[in-house]
Amino acid sequence: MMPLQTKGMTLAFETADFQQLRPLLDNKTVDCVTLVDSYLKRIRQHQRLNAFISVFDDRARQAAAAIDLKIKTGDAGKLAGLVIAIKDLICIKNERTTCGSKILSNFIPPYDAFVIKRLLAEDAILIGKTNMDEFGMGSSTENSHFGAALNPHDMARVPGGSSGGSAVAVADGQCTASLGTDTGGSIRQPASFCGVVGLKPTYGRVSRFGLVAYASSLDQIGPITRSVPDAAMLLQVIAGHDRRDSTSASLPVPDYSSGMKNGVSGLKVGVPREYISESVQLEVSAAIERTIDSLRQGGASIEQTSLPHSKYAIATYYIIATAEASSNLARYDGTRFGYRAGDADDLESMYVKTRSQGFGEEVKRRIMLGTYVLSAGYYDAYYRKAQKVRTLIKQDFDRAFEKFDVLIAPTAPTTAFGLGEKLDDPLTMYLSDIFTVSINLAGVPAISIPVGYDSNKLPIGAQVIAKAYNEATLFHVGYFLEQESSAKMSDSN
């Protein structure tokens, strides 16, 4: 580990969360400038992981120096000294936002996203924009115009996607935390593959203003962190109503840290039988069983339940998401902004060549599928029917949460798979999200918690799911599991 030299002590900053760093910043044991320089050095040394598309060296150092002064005067915000990376489809004023795509490779937004304004208001330090599957379309971060990101636990394997760069940056100690987006599992699955905490909040809990849309009824911004308390602190800052997002919930944001450490005694936990199948890697199943046993020993009641329409989730998701992508990505035509083909003879050929050259293969595949399901003669057969099934999936969760406080399941059916292993088989790649897409269709929150490793020393994640706007319970259960997992790993060492 690369030590961070502080006044009279050494800190392994690569594994430290913000709960450990902030007291050191407050008592001047370490300063923000030194911390930022340490992260920047780490990013340079580990460039091969390809976690970042853009790195804000000067901006981060300047912000760190200003925040050091605020800490000295006692005027610093809640996140003073938190060095955070941002998935490269969240707009930052005057900083390149590419969405991992050639078509936006030189796009500079003229405004900050809602979540960026919230972070800056609390003195978080933005260190760069992270690599991702193009426009969020992928489960491996191999569909990036800027090259694949690599899993820090095994560089021959994927980090998951589409927020793979965000998960890699946190797992490898290139920042303290990051923001990702989750449309069908894009925060939780890479968090599972990289061994970090990943939260998908309730749809509407965090404003999407300034988020470049993939599928507008499914997208949600959330934190990727090294600990559950850090995730709770970040959500506390970025959550809340925003009049510029018509889907933003006008609900109070609770104190997520309150009661987090009270244990799980008395909680009712459901285990969906549809998430227990032969397709799940045996070591993943075993880790989930151990996680369930930990909850039982902690005083929670465990009972099997059913989400009967889960088997339709993948098909439903890939109709609705691609239809919305077809609509949202129509704006990238070379006319107003972004890449424009230079060898076009007329307007129509400019459209065709721009989109053919500017979009990658997976994005083009999804645009074509979405356009097809929205076309005359097929709309009722596919899109309308998918929306009806989505309602049934949501009703399954509604019924489950009448009885249970949380549901628990694997985050992904396997640990991280090999680079290139699934690129030529899109359907197999899509099935990587089999346990996550239904949560987005239902609009409920879920969190992935690291709960162990397989025989190849690859991380395994457990997914905890709660009813809408009940993220506090996710943090409650997640903290318990985090402590249990840490204790068992310490005992094994």
The two structure tokens encoding residue 381: 């057969």
Does residue 239 sit in helix, strand or coil?
Answer: strand
Q: Is the dihedral of CA 150, 151, 153, 154 positive or negative?
A: negative
102 by Cβ neighbours in 10 Å (0-12 / 13-18 / 19+) ranks as middle
CA atoms of 233 and 242, how far apart (whole Å): 19
CA atoms of 260 and 480, how far apart (whole Å): 8
- DSSP, residue by residue, 372-440: HHHSTTTIIIIIIHHHHHHHHHHHHHHHHHHH-SEEEEESSSSSPPBTTSSTT-HHHHHGGGTTTHHHH
Neighbours of 78 (CB within 10 A): 15
Length of the chain: 493
**Catalytic residue among 162, 178, 227, 432, which?**
162
- In the beta sheet, which residues pair with residue 374? none
**Catalytic residue among 38, 54, 87, 432, which?**
87
CA atoms of 166 and 162, how far apart (whole Å): 9
CB 370 within 8 A of CB 317: no
With vertex at residue 176, the alpha carbon angle to CA 207 and CA 420, rounded to the nearest 5 degrees, is 85
**Catalytic residue among 54, 101, 144, 186, which?**
186
CA atoms of 74 and 250, how far apart (whole Å): 32
Q: Which residue has the tokens 């790649």?
A: 429
What is the identity of the amino acid at 319? I
Range list of H helices, 199-273 = 228-238
The DSSP symbol for 252 reads: P
Q: Which residue has the tokens 């500079």?
A: 108
Catalytic, 162? Answer yes
Task: Please give the distance of CA 440 from its chain centroid, rounded to a whole number.
Answer: 12
The two structure tokens encoding residue 153: 């636990």
Residue 323's alpha-carbon distances to 123, 208, 368, 440, in angstroms, are 38, 19, 9, 15
Q: Is the dihedral of CA 51, 437, 257, 114 positive or negative?
A: positive
Q: Which of 169, 223, 167 is nearest to 193 (CA)?
A: 167
CA atoms of 464 and 478, how far apart (whole Å): 7
Catalytic residues: 87, 162, 186
